């Protein structure tokens, strides 16, 4: 039988597969992400969203003895196939095991009604709330140019704080230069960085993923560099003091330090590439990184008279002083970008979340969404996803349309992209 497995050498532990799996067949510990053979039905929902392709492994194993979760959690590399004939097929290239499994899975899924029940208009497998295909006009991304086996070295050329000094939120704008190493990226893509050192079991730390905050032609135009937006993490999700390994490493980097990078990753959360495209960007905190990249791309295109669309931004932060890039953002002309700031802890102001502002601007949001040139990008805290989708639902309802239909259409057309953590 073919067992669905995740390649621990390639996986960047971004949690996308676990979030996407509709039947909770994927789990993880501090070492690995793993697939439970007893639950996985090969529905393939997790395969397209995986930024690295680590998920797309189908190993020949003896029927009745798949690799257990305990085995998988301890792997450093995938084991060899158990079944000679299956291994031979893969080695020959005469039949791709993954392709065969995919075809079988697609057939099984279609037979079980999985695709038709939870797919977009064109039978595109669902990946949760967002599209699993890029906007039709998106440029072709490069992915996985550098992997765990051949990371590239980048040099830090800048590390600036983009929140006020006296606030709790230490958010950094970090610029990395790749020198002569080719590192082509698109807005919306991400990279991953290896923090130095080992965990408590003596294993090298895994790479951590960050969205790129600069446009495709570089933080500085025509330089081979890019930027990241990184928040220094000092507590775990329960509020205990546990400094984040990679965020603290990155926030403390000095000019001329070097870092080990893999990527780029991501082939769906990409901006449309035609001049009439409109963007509705909804983000919280450091989820603003891809929005900054897209906005700056549009601004540069506008200067070249190659952009004619509309930008609408909903940006949530605790206070104005903790909102990354507040100064530069407010310098952008109002006729270029429609900025809506949702501040949740600004003294003397009522608590506002991005979804509150979407409701307030419902008429404009619905009108823009009605235009087939409009794409929506949502990035930031996991918690905001539901509220934002409800607010979009309400806006569409006010315009006399049905959200389930509009939502399915947006997903199928690659016009709704969600990246939340």
Question: Is there a contact between 419 and 390 (Cβ–Cβ < 8 Å)?
Answer: no
Taking alpha carbons only, the member of 242, 247, 255, 249 closest to residue 231 is 247
> CA quadruple 251, 316, 266, 199: dihedral positive or negative?
positive
Site string for ligand NAP, 387-406 (x = CB under 6 A): x-------------------
Taking alpha carbons only, the member of 157, 196, 151, 152 closest to residue 176 is 157
Taking the least distance from each CB to ligand NAP, the nearer of 86 and 380 is 380
| Residue 344, marked binder | yes
Residue 342 phi, psi (nearest 5): -110, 105
| Residue 68, marked binder | no
The span from the CA of 279 to the CA of 309, in Å, is: 8
Site string for ligand NAP, 162-191 (x = CB under 6 A): -------x----------------------
What distances in angstroms separate CA 269 from CA 175, 236, 360, 376, one per listed residue?
21, 27, 26, 10
Q: Which stretch binds ligand NAP (CB under 6 A): 6-14, 17-25, 197-205, 383-391?
A: 383-391
- Applying CB under 6 A, which of residues 125, 263, 264, 380 lies at the interface with ligand NAP? 380
| Token pair belonging to 161 | 């704080």
Taking the least distance from each CB to ligand NAP, the nearer of 57 and 284 is 284
| Residue 211, marked binder | yes
* 383 belongs to the binding site for ligand NAP (CB under 6 A): yes
* 310-329 positions binding ligand NAP, by CB under 6 A: 316-318
Taking the least distance from each CB to ligand NAP, the nearer of 267 and 284 is 284
Site string for ligand NAP, 224-263 (x = CB under 6 A): -----xxx--------------------------------
| Residue 351, marked binder | yes
3-state secondary structure 103-150: HHHHHHHHHCCHHHHCECCCCCECECEECCCCCCCCCCCCCCCECCCC
Taking the least distance from each CB to ligand NAP, the nearer of 56 and 385 is 385
How many residues in the shown chain lie near ligand NAP by CB under 6 A?
A: 27
| Token pair belonging to 304 | 């070249």
Rounded to the nearest 10 degrees, how much is the dihedral formed by the CA atoms of 40, 44, 49, 53?
Answer: 80
| Token pair belonging to 408 | 């399915």
Residues 6+ away with beta carbon under 8 Å from 328? none
Taking the least distance from each CB to ligand NAP, the nearer of 274 and 352 is 352
Q: How far is the CB of 91 from ligand NAP (least distance, A)?
A: 39
- Applying CB under 6 A, which of residues 100, 143, 381, 399 lies at the interface with ligand NAP? 381
* 286-305 positions binding ligand NAP, by CB under 6 A: 286-287, 289
Angle subtended at Cα 59 by Cα 53 and Cα 65, rounded to the nearest 5 degrees: 135
- Applying CB under 6 A, which of residues 235, 345, 370, 405 lies at the interface with ligand NAP? 345
| Residue 409, marked binder | no
Taking the least distance from each CB to ligand NAP, the nearer of 148 and 417 is 417
The span from the CA of 186 to the CA of 226, in Å, is: 10
Question: Is there a contact between 209 and 52 (Cβ–Cβ < 8 Å)?
Answer: no
Q: Which stretch binds ligand NAP (CB under 6 A): 38-46, 55-63, 180-188, 351-359?
A: 351-359
Binding site: what residues are annotated? 211, 231, 286, 344-345, 351, 380-381, 419
Contacts with ligand NAP by CB under 6 A lie at: 169, 210-211, 229-231, 284-287, 289, 316-318, 344-345, 353-355, 379-381, 383-384, 387, 419, 421
């Amino acid at each position: 039988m073919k067992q669905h497995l995740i390649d621990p050498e390639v996986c960047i532990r971004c949690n996308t597969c676990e979030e996407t799996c509709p039947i909770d067949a994927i789990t993880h510990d501090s070492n690995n992400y793993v697939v439970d053979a007893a639950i996985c039905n090969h529905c393939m929902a997790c395969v397209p969203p995986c930024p690295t392709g680590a998920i797309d492994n189908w190993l020949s194993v003896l029927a009745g003895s798949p690799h257990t979760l305990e085995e998988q959690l301890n792997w450093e590399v995938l084991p060899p196939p158990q079944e000679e004939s299956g291994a031979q097929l893969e080695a020959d290239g005469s039949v791709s095991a993954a392709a065969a499994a995919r075809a079988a899975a697609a057939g099984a899924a279609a037979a079980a009604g999985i695709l038709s029940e939870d797919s977009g208009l064109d039978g595109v497998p669902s990946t949760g709330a967002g599209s699993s295909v890029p906007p039709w006009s998106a440029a072709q991304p490069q992915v996985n140019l550098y992997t765990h086996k051949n990371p590239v070295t980048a040099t830090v050329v800048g590390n600036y704080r983009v929140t006020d000094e006296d606030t709790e939120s230490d958010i950094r704008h970090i610029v990395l230069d790749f020198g002569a190493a080719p590192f082509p990226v698109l807005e919306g893509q991400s990279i991953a960085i290896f923090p130095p050192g080992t965990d408590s079991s003596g294993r090298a730390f895994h790479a951590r993923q960050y969205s790129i905050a600069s446009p495709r032609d570089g933080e500085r135009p025509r330089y081979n560099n890019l930027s990241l937006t990184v928040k220094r993490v000092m507590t775990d999700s329960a509020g205990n003091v546990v400094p984040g390994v990679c965020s603290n490493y990155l926030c403390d980097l000095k000019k001329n330090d070097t870092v080990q990078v893999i990527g780029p990753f991501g082939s769906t959360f990409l901006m449309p590439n035609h001049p009439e495209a409109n963007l509705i960007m909804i983000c919280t905190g450091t989820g603003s990184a891809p929005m900054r990249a897209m906005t700056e791309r549009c601004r540069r295109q506008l200067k070249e008279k190659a952009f004619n669309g509309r930008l609408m931004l909903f940006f949530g932060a605790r206070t104005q002083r903790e909102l990354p890039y507040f100064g530069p953002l407010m310098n952008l002309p109002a006729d270029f970008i429609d900025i809506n700031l949702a501040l949740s802890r600004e003294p003397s102001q009522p608590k506002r979340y991005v979804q509150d502002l979407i409701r307030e601007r419902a008429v404009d949001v619905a009108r823009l969404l009605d235009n087939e040139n409009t794409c929506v990008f949502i990035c930031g805290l996991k918690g905001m996803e539901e509220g934002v989708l409800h607010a979009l639902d309400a806006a569409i309802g006010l315009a006399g349309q049905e959200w389930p239909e509009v939502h399915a259409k947006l997903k199928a057309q690659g016009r709704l992209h969600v990246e939340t953590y």
